[in-house]
Structures are given as structure tokens and as C-alpha cells.
């Protein structure tokens, strides 16, 4: 729910047709709870699944660094709410094929450019 997460998630939302055209299925993974992610999804009208990884199990399997979480305040439907997360993960992007093989990993994600990068990488695989 950081500004970077929001920009990245909204870019994926806004490019859904182009992602679908290259055969991509977007899934976001976060250290936020299911309740937090449901609020985030609603707040930004996201059109892809968000997985809760509060214990960092998924992040750990993929080698993504995690650290202690914290509290943030957000407004939803005119109401100010506190959101707590037990852990926070670094912003990494993976492209994984249907067999579960990691085809691409980006450990230096630029939130506003990530969607375009992913689309270009997927297109390059198809050449």
C-alpha cells in the first residue's frame, strides 16, 4: 500500500488488455493481510488476484528480502483506517511459465515502468 505499490498495481490494472494479449496472468504478493489486500484491491479497483504472504513464506522461497512491517493510514470510502502488516517485502517481479519455471526476475523494479518491461520481455520470448 505504499505509493510505489499503488503506482505499480494501477499500471498493471490499466494495462490488463495488453497483458492478456501476451498471455500474462498477473498476481500480486504482499506482506499485507487478506483484509488489507481486499481494501487495497477495492480502493484501486484492481483486476487481478492479490496473495497475502504475512509470514514471508512465498518471498523466502523466491529469495525476496523481507523486513518488519509497520502501520500505515489510508482513507477508504471517506473513513480513515489504520493498516498493519507483519512483514514487508522488496519490490521484485518474476515471470513464471505454466510449468512453474522462473523465466525472468527483476530485483530493481521501477514501479511505473514494470508493466511495460514485463510485456516487452514476454513478447521477446515469443519471437
Give catalytic residue positions.
5
Q: What b/e readout covers 45-83, taking b as 16+ CB neighbours within 10 angstroms?
A: ebeeebebbeebebbeeeebebeebeeeeeeeeeeeeeb
**E strand map for the chain:** 28-30, 50-52, 66-76, 79-89, 93-96, 102-106
Spatial separation of the C-alpha atoms in residues 75 and 120, rounded to whole Å: 35
Amino acid at each position: 500500500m505504499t505509493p510505489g505499490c499503488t503506482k505499480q498495481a494501477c499500471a498493471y490494472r490499466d494495462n490488463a488488455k495488453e497483458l492478456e494479449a501476451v498471455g500474462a496472468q498477473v498476481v500480486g504478493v504482499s506482506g499485507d493481510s487478506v483484509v488489507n489486500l481486499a481494501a487495497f484491491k477495492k480502493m484501486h479497483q484492481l483486476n487481478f488476484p492479490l496473495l497475502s504472504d504475512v509470514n514471508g513464506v512465498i518471498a523466502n522461497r523466491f529469495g525476496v528480502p523481507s523486513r518488519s512491517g509497520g502501520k500505515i493510514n489510508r482513507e477508504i470510502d471517506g473513513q480513515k483506517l489504520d493498516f498493519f502488516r507483519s512483514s514487508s517485502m522488496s519490490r521484485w517481479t518474476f515471470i513464471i511459465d505454466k510449468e512453474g519455471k522462473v523465466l525472468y526476475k527483476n530485483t530493481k523494479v521501477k514501479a511505473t515502468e514494470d508493466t511495460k518491461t514485463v510485456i516487452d520481455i514476454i513478447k521477446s520470448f515469443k519471437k
